[in-house]
């Protein structure tokens, strides 16, 4: 029986979905179940998923659009394995990601949630940089927040710490705020993920989260730490809008990376890491 479920929520993801699924199926660790839950897609996403003929894939389709946090909770409820890993439909996994995370969790029972460092990639799969600086000698690092789709934990952890379905667009930040002081959060400092982000329309993502910001402020009784997060979030949305008007959103996206790289392909990175 599989030890791991990889949960992939999908909504109108036809542009990058094939690469995302293929990167999961190409993992060096192969004994997993890929649970794909569609959130009412109206494009070719379901057809793309069905084009893969792999017994590890299970597709759930109900025709409704319920939002990401609802689907993430649904994935945890449907998972039948010891561990559950997150994935997003526009990102790409390094071939060794799942195996290395599982090795850490199986060997370090005091760790509750394990994420990874990540390469930043654009719409053409070109690598722009690395999100966090890292030392080759430092394998693990304690954190309070994660690059959301990189995380893995026991399925039980996800079931006991559900996403708030009203915190749409900030469901991960709200979860980290609520849980980071209670659990041991670690990341593998090696970049084992290709996180897609590019400078088109980012301001809209922030604006869509404003209602959830207000809701979460009330939920957490105007906690000073969450107020600081809310202010930073709202200011970021305004800043991205200004840079959008100037046609320079990509500048802000690049500044998220601690290490800037000349554009490289994913294949080049994987080739170099093999030697």
Name every residue whose Cβ is closer than 8 Å to that of residue 228 and which is 6 or more positions away in sequence. Answer: none
| Model pLDDT, residue 275 | 37
Helices (runs of H) and strands (runs of E) counted in the chain: 11, 11
Cα 190 from chain centroid? 16
Total length of the chain: 275
Structural domains present in the chain: 4-197 (3.90.550.10), 199-255 (no CATH)
Listed as ranges, residues in the chain with pLDDT below 70 are: 1, 272-275
For residue 193, what are the contacts with CB-CB under 8 A and spacing of at least 6?
91, 92, 93, 94, 97, 116, 117, 118, 119, 147, 149, 150
CA angle 35, 38, 44 (to 5 degrees): 115
Single pTM value for the model: 0.95
Query: Torsion angle of alpha carbons 252, 257, 263, 264, nearest 10°?
Result: -150
Which pLDDT score, from 0 to 100, does residue 269 have?
84
What does the pLDDT read at residue 273?
A: 58
CA 208/CA 128 separation, integer angstroms: 26
Question: What is the distance between the alpha carbons of residues 182 and 192, in angstroms, rounded to a whole number?
Answer: 26
Coil/strand/helix, residue 50:
helix
């Amino acid at each position: 029986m599989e030890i791991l479920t990889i949960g992939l929520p999908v909504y109108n993801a036809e542009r990058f979905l094939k690469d995302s699924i293929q990167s999961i199926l190409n993992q060096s660790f192969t004994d997993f179940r890929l649970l794909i839950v569609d959130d009412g897609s109206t494009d070719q996403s379901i057809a793309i998923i069905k084009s893969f003929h792999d017994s590890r894939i299970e597709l759930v389709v109900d025709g409704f659009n319920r939002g990401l946090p609802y689907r993430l909770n649904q994935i945890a409820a449907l998972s039948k394995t010891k561990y559950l890993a997150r994935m997003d439909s526009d990102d790409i996994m390094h071939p060794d990601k799942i195996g290395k995370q599982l090795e850490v969790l199986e060997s370090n029972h005091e760790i509750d949630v394990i994420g990874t460092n990540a390469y930043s990639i654009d719409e053409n799969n070109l690598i722009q940089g690395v999100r966090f600086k890292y030392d080759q000698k430092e394998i693990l690092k304690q954190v309070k927040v994660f690059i959301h789709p990189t995380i893995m934990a026991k399925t039980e952890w996800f079931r006991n710490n559900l996403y708030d379905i009203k915190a749409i667009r900030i469901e991960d930040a709200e979860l980290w705020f609520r849980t980071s002081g209670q659990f041991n959060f670690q990341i593998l400092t090696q970049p084992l993920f290709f996180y897609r982000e590019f400078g088109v329309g980012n301001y809209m993502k922030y604006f869509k989260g404003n209602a959830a910001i207000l809701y979460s402020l009330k939920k957490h009784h105007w906690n000073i730490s969450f107020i600081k997060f809310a202010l930073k979030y709202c200011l970021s949305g305004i800043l991205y809008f200004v840079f959008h008007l100037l046609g320079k959103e990509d500048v802000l996206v690049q500044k998220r990376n601690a290490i800037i790289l000349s554009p490289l392909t994913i294949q080049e990175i994987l080739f170099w890491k093999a030697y």
